[in-house]
Every structure is written in structure tokens, then in C-alpha cells.
Amino acid sequence: MQQGELSMAEAGSVVRKIERKLQAKARSEKGGRGVREKRIADNVLDVIGGTPLIRLNRVGGPERERVLVKLEAINPGGSIKDRIGLALIRSAEASGRLKPGGTVVEATAGNTGIGLAQAACVLGYHSIFVVPDKMSVDKIRLMQAYGATVHVVPDVPRIDPNNYQHVARQLANSTPGAAYMGQFEEESNPETHYRTTGPEIWSDTDGQVAAFVAGAGTGGTISGVGRYLKDCNPHIEIIGADPIGSIFTGPVAPFRLEGMGEDYYPKTLDVDVVDRWIAVGDDDAFDMARRLAREEGLLVGGSSGAIALAALQVAKETANPGYVIAILPDSGRNYFSNIFREEI
Ligand SMILES: Cc1ncc(COP(=O)(O)O)c(C=O)c1O
């Protein structure tokens, strides 16, 4: 080797440096996520997660500077529930409840059904979902588009035997080859958020987290992420945004928000992880969802509106240093029939 020539190892390192520079340049020019490391995925499930944190620029007051929203609508099925679809199926397979070619059955507000249906397509399962009739028709159409069978039942309290969770369990028992997924009791639900959503937030902020704000349906998100962040730094505040009418802030009454709020305490919700709850009304949440679309270009659902409102309040109140992270669970495309319905 002549003096001044590069060894193979040195040449490789120079090439990698140039590649990194080009990728950074492409990222800044595109204004988007830029060139990703791995561009060919084995299947759609491979691109779930890794969602971005985004600053707010218009809604709220100056406190918005502390808020970062995590855009779960970017998942291929359009919501945070893509993350648990595969995990629920894997845990049913591992316990022997789900056999090859079988049928996944679940009670869902829609997004878990979409996440499960997507995974079922890839893994060769059939899917059947039971949905309360208050949920948007858009989500029902989406589940059907993935080939799922959807049963819509009256939205009655959990103590009623006709509640969607009981109907789904009965269907699973009476359908040959079927397995009930059980997002409200399966530990794989919060565990998935402990393993993926939590570490993404910690790593993307270099641990600069003051508070974490999420809604709770099953409680999987807030419990899994909350546990992870508290394991990293016990001072991080974990705050639940809750619809007025849900049991977590009580008293129980009907509400229109979908995917968040309950009339009982699911097994997957670890109440000890939640430091406090903030109650938000349906109309305020829907107004904020429409503002996020029109003023921030973030097309998200009503629960995202509720969570963003709570996060702005927390950003004003918390003495902790760092960012206030708000989960925006799903896409506004799920709500064209209600929140974003315009007469045309
Ligand atoms: C639309 C929607 N999907 C999913 C979730 C996540 O709920 P969990 O992980 O508690 O089931 C929420 C919570 O706000 C939500 O609003």
C-alpha cells in the first residue's frame, strides 16, 4: 500500500461517513423522515412503530414549546393498536390457543381490530370482531377492507351480558378454531408498550422527559410506557387524559370519545403508574382534533384532541424539566363519518 492510500477499513469508514452526510442532506431537503436505513421490509408488520415526535407550532399558548406529540397515525394500520395486533396473536399461539389457519376474535373499539386484521392477513388467520355501535362506521369499513367479519352490538355497560366483550368471548367459544385475543387482560398488551413505545420516547428525547400524557382504554399504553419511563426516571409524571363520563375520573355517564375511557377498571390498566387524571369533554376534544388538522396539519382522531388538550395543561403546570410527551393514538381518517363530517 502506497503512502497516502486508504486501507479497506479506512475506505469503508469514509464511505459510511459520506453516506450519513448524504442521508442527513436528503432528510433536510425532503423535510420528512428522509432515507431510512432499511428500505425493504419483509412484510407490513415490519414497519410498525418507530413513530416520530413532532413539535406543536400553533395550538395552545407559549407552553406548547414544551409539548411533543407522538404521531401513531403513521403506523400502517393508522393507529397505536398496530403495535399490539401481532403481540396478541403471538401470545395466543404460544399458549396453544391459536392454531395455524385459525380465527382471531376480539372485542374492539376498532383500532385493535384493524391492527389484528392486518397481522392476521400476513400470518394466515381469519378474523372476527365485535364492536359497540357508538364507534365510527369508518373503522368498521377498515376492518372489513382487511377481510374481517364485524359484528356491531348495542353499546351497553360491561355488567350487561350483551356487552361487546362478553359477546366476543362467547363467539370465540362457539367458533371452531377460534381464539379470544383479550386485549383488556393480556399482559402482552402493556408489555409491548414497555418494549417499544416507551424506549422510543426515551431515546428520541435523550431522556429529557418531564411528563407523559396518554388516554386509557385497556390502559395498555399508559401502563407499559409509564412503567418504562418511571424505570428510567421515577420523577417523570404519568398523566391520563380521560373523557368526562369515564370511570377513571368518574362518575360514569355516556360519552362520545372512542378508544379511551371505560366503565370499569381493566386488568391491563396499572392505576399505580398513573400520577393523576385530567377529565376532558367530548366537544372540547373534537374541537382540538379539528384544530390539530387545520392549524398543525396533524389529521388525528378525537382522543388525540383530548390528549393534546391535557398535555397543554400539563405543560403549564409541571415543575419538572424536559418535554411533555403526548400520544396521538390514531388517524382522523377513522372519523370522516362523525368528527370531520362536513356537508358537501
Ligand atoms: C383511539 C384510541 N386507540 C387506542 C388508545 C390506547 O388505549 P389503550 O392502550 O389504553 O387501550 C386510545 C387511548 O386514548 C385511543 O384513544
Task: Return the CATH number of the domain spanning residue range 44-76+194-335.
Answer: 3.40.50.1100
Nearest CA-CA partner of 77 in 43, 116, 106: 116
Instruction: Work out which ligand 1 atom sits closest to the CA atom of 111.
Output: 3
CB burial readout 152-179, b (16+ within 10 A) else e: ebeebeeeeeebbbbbbbebbeebeebb
What three-state secondary structure class fits 100? coil
CA angle 214, 72, 326 (to 5 degrees): 30
Looking at the chain, the domain(s) classified CATH 3.40.50.1100 span 44-76+194-335, 82-180
Query: What separation in angstroms does the CA of 201 have from each of 32, 70, 164, 206, 262?
Result: 19, 8, 33, 8, 26
Task: Choose one of 262, 274, 303 to mutate for the ligand 1 pocket test, by most ligand atoms within 8 angstroms of C-beta.
Answer: 303
Strand-pairing partners, residue 334, are none
pTM of the model: 0.89
In the block, residue with C-alpha cell 399504553: 221
Report whether 153 contacts 164 (CB < 8 A). yes
Which residue has its alpha carbon closest to ligand 1 atom 15? 259
User: Domain 82-180's class?
Assistant: alpha beta
pLDDT digits (tens), the chain, 344 positions:
555 555 555 555 555 565 555 555 555 444 455 555 668 999 999 999 999 999 999 999 999 999 999 999 999 999 999 999 999 999 999 999 999 999 999 999 999 999 999 999 999 999 999 999 989 899 999 999 999 999 999 999 999 999 999 999 999 999 999 999 999 999 999 999 999 999 999 999 999 999 999 999 999 999 999 999 999 999 999 999 999 999 999 999 999 999 999 999 999 999 999 999 999 999 999 999 999 999 999 999 999 999 999 999 999 999 999 999 999 999 999 999 999 997 66
Q: How far is the CA of 29 from the centre of ligand 1 (A)?
A: 34
Report whether 57 contacts 296 (CB < 8 A). yes
Q: How far is the CA of 329 from the centre of ligand 1 (A)?
A: 6
Which residue has its alpha carbon closest to ligand 1 atom 7? 217
